[in-house]
Structure 1
Amino acid sequence: MKRKATAIWKGSGKEGNGTLTTQSTVLDKTQYSFNTRFAEGKGTNPEELIAAAHAGCFSMKLSFVLNEAGFTADEINTECFINFENGAITESLLKLQAKVPGISKEKFQACAEDAEKNCPISKLLNTSIKLEATLL
């Protein structure tokens, strides 16, 4: 399986702007610029998209790990915070809250750590990845 996204940038780094389009067209010429990346402009930015990818990938992987352990989550809610400093992504923090009937805190933590280590986006990122997991 291969997936594709396209970025088009026009102009200088600070005054220019660009668009992002994904193969599925969920993003379709979505605007990004210096302001959307480093200030509070309207549009998206690469770090926000990485956060979405990491949260989504981790949540799905956790669902599979839980299923393999004999559990099904009622809900998995993952927030991802990307820390961008000095031109590099220095951390991805996953904040997890989940409702998983019948699971112990210890088993839940083990499943969450397995998912954090083994989701494809975690494997891709060359940065510190942290996980805070809460069983509701």
Structure 2
Amino acid sequence: MKRRAKAVWNGNIKGGNGHLTTNSLVLNKTQYSFNSRFAEGIGTNPEELLAAAHAGCFTMKLSLDLTTAGYTAEELTTESTVTLNDGKITQSLLILNAKVPGISDEEFQQLARQAEATYPVSQAFNFEIILQANLI
């Protein structure tokens, strides 16, 4: 499987701007700029997209692991915060809130840690990943 995205940039770093388009068109000429990355400008940025990829991939992997263990999640909500320090992405903090009927907290924590260690996006990058898993 291969997935594609395209970035277009016009102008210099601070005054210029660009847009991102994905093959699925979920992002379709979605704006990004210096301000959307380093300030509070309108548009997206690479760190936000990494955060979405981390949260989405981890949550799907945990759903798979729960299903394999015989559980069906009522709801899994994962928030990812990606940190950029001195021009380097250094961390992704995953905060998971889960409603999973019939599971003990011990088994839930074990499955969450297993998913955190094996989901594909986590293996693609070299930065610290911290998981805080909460069974509601």
Normalised TM-score (structure 2): 0.99
Q: What is the match of residue 54 of structure 2?
A: 54
Q: What is the match of residue 30 of structure 1?
A: 30
Rounded to whole Å, the distance in 1 between the matches of 2:125 and 2:94 is: 13
Rounded to whole Å, the distance in 2 between the matches of 1:84 and 1:121 is: 17
**Structure 1 residue 115 and structure 2 residue 112: aligned?**
no
What letter is aligned with 2:101?
P
For residues 3-14 of structure 1, the aligned pairs below 5 Å read 3-14=3-14
How many percent identity over aligned positions? 61
Rounded to whole Å, the distance in 1 between the matches of 2:6 and 2:114 is: 32
Rounded to whole Å, the distance in 2 between the matches of 1:9 and 1:80 is: 26
Rounded to whole Å, the distance in 1 between the matches of 2:90 and 2:2 is: 27
What SS does the corresponding residue of 2:90 show, helix, strand or coil?
A: strand
> How big is the alpha-carbon RMSD for the aligned residues of Structure 1 and Structure 2?
0.5
Structure 1 stretches of 4+ with a deviation exceeding 3 A read none
Rounded to whole Å, the distance in 1 between the matches of 2:52 and 2:131 is: 15
* Structure 1: segments with no counterpart, 5+ residues: none
Rounded to whole Å, the distance in 2 between the matches of 1:93 and 1:65 is: 20
1:41-88 deviation per Cα after TM superposition (whole angstroms, max 9, x unaligned)? 000000000000100000000000001111110000000000100001
* Structure 2: segments with no counterpart, 5+ residues: none
What SS does the corresponding residue of 1:92 show, helix, strand or coil?
A: strand
- Deviation at 1:13? 1.1
- Deviation at 1:15? 1.1
Normalised TM-score (structure 1): 0.99
- Deviation at 1:99? 0.3
Rounded to whole Å, the distance in 2 between the matches of 1:55 and 1:125 is: 14
